C-alpha cells in the first residue's frame, strides 16, 4: 500500500465517494445548508441596511430617529439570526462529521479484521493504525468544518461582488480592480503550499515510523548500547522535519501579508475614488461606508480559503488511503454453498492428504504432507527450524489455504466447514503467546462468557492456579501490554488455560522453544499433560517429555515427512529422528 500518497490535484472520484458518507446525515446536511444560506444572507444584508440607515435617515434634512430605530432593530435581528444560523450549521455538521468518523473507524476495523493473515502480515501495523486514526480524523474535519466553510467563503465572495455592483457599478469596478492579481497570487500560493505541505507530510511520516520502530525495539538498542546512534539518526530526521516546517511557514508568511496588502490597497482605492465620486454626488456616503465593510468581507475568506484547501487536500489523500484499504479484499473464503456440519460427540479426527503449500509462489514449504491424527490421539511433529512445522499448524487452523491436497476434519474437507465452526473446532496455542493489556480473566475469556468457577477449574487443569494464588488480585491481575509483567512460563500457562476454557476438540500446540527454568518446566509439563488429555492434538514439540508421550511422531524435513512412528520405534530405526534427538537432548 502506498503510505504517503498525496494527490496531485483535486480528485473528484475520491471526493464523490467521501461525500457519499454524508448520506445517512442527509437531513442534517440539508438543514445545515439552509442555515448556511441564511448566514450568508445576513452577512451580505448588514452593510446594505447600514447604507440604508445612513442615506435615508442620517444624511437627510431631518434625522429620522424612528427610521434609525427601525434599521437598528433590523440589524440586531440580522445579527442574532446569523448567530443562530451559524450555531445550527456548525452543530449539525459536527454531528455528521463525528458520526462519519465513528462509522468509518468501525468499517475499517471490521474490514481489516476480516482479511487473511497473509494480507495482514504484509501490511505494516503503523500504516493500518494511521488509517484508522489520523486519516479518519482529517476526513471528519473535512465534513464538520471545511466543506461548509469553503462553500460559505466562496458564496460570500461572489455575493459581495454582486452587492457591490448592485449598490454602485462604477465604485464596484474600482473595488474589483485588485481582483486579477489576487487570483494570480492565490493560484501561485496554492501550488507552493501544496508542495510544502507534501514535504512536511513525508518528513512527519519518516519521524513517526522511525520513532515507533525504535521505541518498540528499545530493548535491542539498549542491549547493544546504541542510544547515541539512535539519537543522532533521530536528530537528523527531526532536523529535516523542522526545515520542511519552516519552508511551509515561509509560504504562509509571504501569502498572508500579501493578501492583507491587496485588501488595504483595494480599500484605499475605494476611499480615494469613492470620495471623489461622493463629492460630485455620484455616490452616497452610505454606499461608501457599505463598500468599506464589503471589501473587508471579500478579502477575509481569501485568507482562509488557501488554508482550507490544504485540509481538503489531506482529507482527499487520507480518503484515498482509506479506500485503498477498503478496496483490498484478501479473505479466506467461507464454505459458501457447500457448508457441512460436524458431529463432535465422539471426538474429531484430523488428517492431511498430500498437502502442498507455499507462502510465495515457486518457494514450496510443504511438499506433499500426509498424516492422520485419530480422535483423541496426540501426534507430535519434530524437525529442524524452518522445516515447516508451524506451517502445518497454520494450515490445520485454516489461516492459510493449502495449494494442493486436502485437509479433513472427521472426514469433511475443512474448506466445506463454516469458518466459525472450524475455528471453534481447531484451536492453536501459538509459538509466541500474545497477551492483551487487561486482566488475566479477560485474556482467558477473550470476550466469551465464563463463570469464575469455570475459569478457576480451567486454571486448575493447566496448573495456572498456583500462579493465580500468588499474585495480587488473581484472575483480576492487570497485565501490561504484551503481558510483560509475567514470566515467559506464566504466559504459556495463561495460553494453556485459554485453550482449556474454550475446550476445542482439536488442539494444535506450537511449543515455545525458549528455554524455561526447571521449576516452570515442571509446572508446564503437568499443565500440558492435562491439556492434551481427551482431545485430538498435533503438537509441534521441542520438549523431550511431550515428544516421548506422543502416540506417534512425524519427522519433518524440508516440507516432507521422512519418518514416522513411536519414540521407541524411531530410536530403534537409528535414522534422522534418533540423530535429531541425540543432538537436541545430548543423549
Site size with ligand ATP, rule: CB under 6 A: 12
The neighbour count for residue 349, using CB atoms within 10 Å, is 18
In degrees, rounded to 5, the angle at the alpha carbon of residue 371 between the alpha carbons of residues 366 and 372 is: 140
Among positions 107-166, residues that touch ligand ATP (CB under 6 A) are: 121
* In contact, 42 and 121? CB cutoff 8 Å: no
Minimal CA–CA distance to 455: which of 475, 478, 480? 475
387 binds ligand ATP (CB under 6 A): yes
Q: Which is nearer to Mg ion, 266 or 387 (CB)?
A: 387
543 binds ligand ATP (CB under 6 A): no
C-alpha cell at 383: 524437525
The one of ligand ATP, Mg ion, none whose footprint includes residue 385, by CB under 5 to 8 A per kind, is ligand ATP
Q: Which is nearer to ligand ATP, 120 or 275 (CB)?
A: 120
In this structure, the strands spanning 426-429 and 506-510 are parallel
C-alpha cell at 335: 464454505
C-alpha cell at 343: 458431529
CA distance 248 to 242: 10
CA distance 559 to 354: 11
Q: Which is nearer to Mg ion, 390 or 490 (CB)?
A: 390
* In contact, 567 and 550? CB cutoff 8 Å: yes
What's the number of CA atoms in the CB half-sphere (13 Å) around residue 434? 3
C-alpha cell at 526: 503437568
Q: How far is the CB of 431 from Mg ion (least distance, A)?
A: 5
Q: Which is nearer to Mg ion, 388 or 505 (CB)?
A: 388
The one of Mg ion, ligand ATP, none whose footprint includes residue 318, by CB under 5 to 8 A per kind, is none
390 binds ligand ATP (CB under 6 A): yes
Among positions 292-331, residues that touch ligand ATP (CB under 6 A) are: none
**How distant, in Å, are the alpha carbons of 48, 64, 241, 437, 441 from that of 69?**
16, 9, 58, 67, 73
Among positions 344-363, residues that touch ligand ATP (CB under 6 A) are: 359
Q: Which stretch binds ligand ATP (CB under 6 A): 51-59, 159-167, 309-317, 385-393?
A: 385-393
Full DSSP string of 283-332: S-HHHHHHHHHHHHHHHHHHHHHHHHHHHHHHHHHHHHHHHHHHT---PP
Q: Which is nearer to Mg ion, 149 or 390 (CB)?
A: 390
391 binds ligand ATP (CB under 6 A): yes
Q: Is 516 helix (H, G, I), strand (E, B) or coil?
A: coil
Of 228, 279, 385, 453, which one interacts with ligand ATP (CB under 6 A)?
385
Q: Which stretch binds ligand ATP (CB under 6 A): 243-251, 322-330, 378-386, 486-494?
A: 378-386
Q: How far is the CB of 331 from ligand ATP (least distance, A)?
A: 17
509 binds ligand ATP (CB under 6 A): no
Q: Which is nearer to Mg ion, 28 or 390 (CB)?
A: 390
The one of Mg ion, ligand ATP, none whose footprint includes residue 386, by CB under 5 to 8 A per kind, is ligand ATP
Q: Which is nearer to Mg ion, 325 or 509 (CB)?
A: 509
Q: Which is nearer to ligand ATP, 321 or 389 (CB)?
A: 389
Of 45, 93, 104, 365, which one interacts with ligand ATP (CB under 6 A)?
365
The neighbour count for residue 11, using CB atoms within 10 Å, is 16
The contact set with ligand ATP (CB under 6 A) reads 121, 359, 365, 383, 385-391, 431
Amino acid at each position: 500500500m502506498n503510505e504517503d500518497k498525496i494527490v496531485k490535484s483535486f480528485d473528484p472520484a475520491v471526493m464523490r465517494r467521501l461525500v457519499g458518507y454524508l448520506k445517512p446525515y442527509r437531513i442534517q446536511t440539508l438543514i445545515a445548508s439552509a442555515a448556511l444560506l441564511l448566514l450568508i444572507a445576513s452577512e451580505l444584508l448588514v452593510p446594505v441596511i447600514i447604507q440604508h440607515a445612513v442615506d435615508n435617515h442620517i444624511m437627510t434634512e431631518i434625522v429620522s430617529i424612528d427610521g434609525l430605530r427601525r434599521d437598528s432593530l433590523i440589524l440586531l435581528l440580522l445579527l442574532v439570526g446569523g448567530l443562530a444560523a451559524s450555531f445550527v450549521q456548525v452543530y449539525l455538521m459536527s454531528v455528521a462529521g463525528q458520526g462519519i468518523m465513528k462509522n468509518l473507524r468501525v468499517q475499517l476495523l471490521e474490514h481489516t479484521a476480516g482479511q487473511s493473515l497473509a494480507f495482514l502480515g504484509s501490511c505494516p501495523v503503523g500504516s493500518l493504525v494511521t488509517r484508522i486514526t489520523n486519516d479518519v480524523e482529517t476526513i471528519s474535519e473535512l465534513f464538520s468544518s471545511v466543506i461548509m466553510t469553503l462553500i460559505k467563503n466562496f458564496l460570500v465572495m461572489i455575493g459581495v461582488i454582486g452587492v457591490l455592483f448592485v449598490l454602485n457599478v462604477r465604485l464596484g469596478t474600482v473595488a474589483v480592480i485588485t481582483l486579477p492579481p489576487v487570483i494570480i497570487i492565490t493560484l501561485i500560493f496554492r501550488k507552493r503550499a501544496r508542495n510544502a505541505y507534501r514535504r512536511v507530510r513525508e518528513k512527519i511520516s519518516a519521524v513517526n515510523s522511525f520513532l515507533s520502530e525504535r521505541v518498540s525495539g528499545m530493548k535491542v538498542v539498549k542491549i547493544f548500547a546504541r542510544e547515541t546512534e539512535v539519537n543522532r539518526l533521530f536528530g537528523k530526521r527531526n532536523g529535516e522535519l523542522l526545515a520542511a516546517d519552516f519552508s511551509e511557514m515561509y509560504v504562509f508568511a509571504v501569502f498572508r501579508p500579501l493578501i492583507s496588502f491587496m485588501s488595504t490597497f483595494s480599500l484605499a482605492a475605494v476611499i480615494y475614488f469613492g470620495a471623489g465620486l461622493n463629492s460630485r454626488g455620484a455616490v452616497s456616503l452610505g454606499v461608501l461606508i457599505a463598500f468599506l465593510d464589503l471589501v473587508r468581507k471579500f478579502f477575509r475568506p481569501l485568507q482562509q480559503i488557501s488554508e482550507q484547501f490544504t485540509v481538503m487536500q489531506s482529507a482527499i489523500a487520507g480518503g484515498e488511503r482509506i479506500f485503498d484499504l477498503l478496496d483490498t479484499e484478501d479473505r479466506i473464503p467461507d464454505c459458501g454453498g457447500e457448508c457441512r456440519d460436524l458431529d463432535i460427540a465422539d471426538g474429531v479426527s484430523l488428517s492431511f492428504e498430500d498437502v502442498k503449500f507455499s507462502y510465495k509462489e515457486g518457494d514450496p514449504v510443504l511438499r506433499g504432507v500426509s498424516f492422520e491424527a485419530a480422535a483423541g490421539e496426540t501426534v507430535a511433529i519434530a524437525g529442524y527450524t524452518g522445516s515447516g512445522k508451524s506451517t502445518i499448524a497454520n494450515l490445520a487452523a485454516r489461516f492459510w489455504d493449502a495449494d494442493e491436497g486436502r485437509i479433513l476434519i472427521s472426514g469433511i474437507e475443512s474448506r466445506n466447514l463454516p469458518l466459525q465452526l472450524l475455528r471453534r473446532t481447531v484451536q492453536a496455542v501459538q509459538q509466541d503467546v500474545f497477551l492483551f493489556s487487561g486482566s488475566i480473566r479477560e485474556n482467558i475469556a477473550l470476550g466469551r462468557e465464563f463463570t469464575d468457577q469455570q475459569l478457576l477449574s480451567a486454571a486448575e487443569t493447566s496448573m495456572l492456579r498456583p500462579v493465580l494464588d500468588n499474585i495480587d488480585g488473581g484472575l483480576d491481575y492487570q497485565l501490561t501490554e504484551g503481558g510483560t509483567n509475567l514470566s515467559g512460563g506464566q504466559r504459556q500457562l495463561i495460553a494453556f488455560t485459554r485453550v482449556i476454557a474454550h475446550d476445542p476438540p482439536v488442539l494444535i500446540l506450537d511449543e515455545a522453544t525458549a528455554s524455561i527454568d526447571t521449576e516452570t518446566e515442571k509446572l508446564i509439563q503437568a499443565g500440558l499433560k492435562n491439556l492434551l488429555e481427551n482431545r485430538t492434538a498435533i503438537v509441534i514439540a521441542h520438549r523431550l517429555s511431550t515428544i516421548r508421550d506422543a502416540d506417534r511422531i512425524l519427522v519433518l524435513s524440508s516440507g516432507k515427512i521422512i519418518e514416522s512412528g513411536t519414540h521407541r520405534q524411531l530410536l530403534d530405526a537409528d535414522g534422522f529422528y534418533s540423530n535429531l534427538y541425540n543432538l537436541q537432548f545430548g543423549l
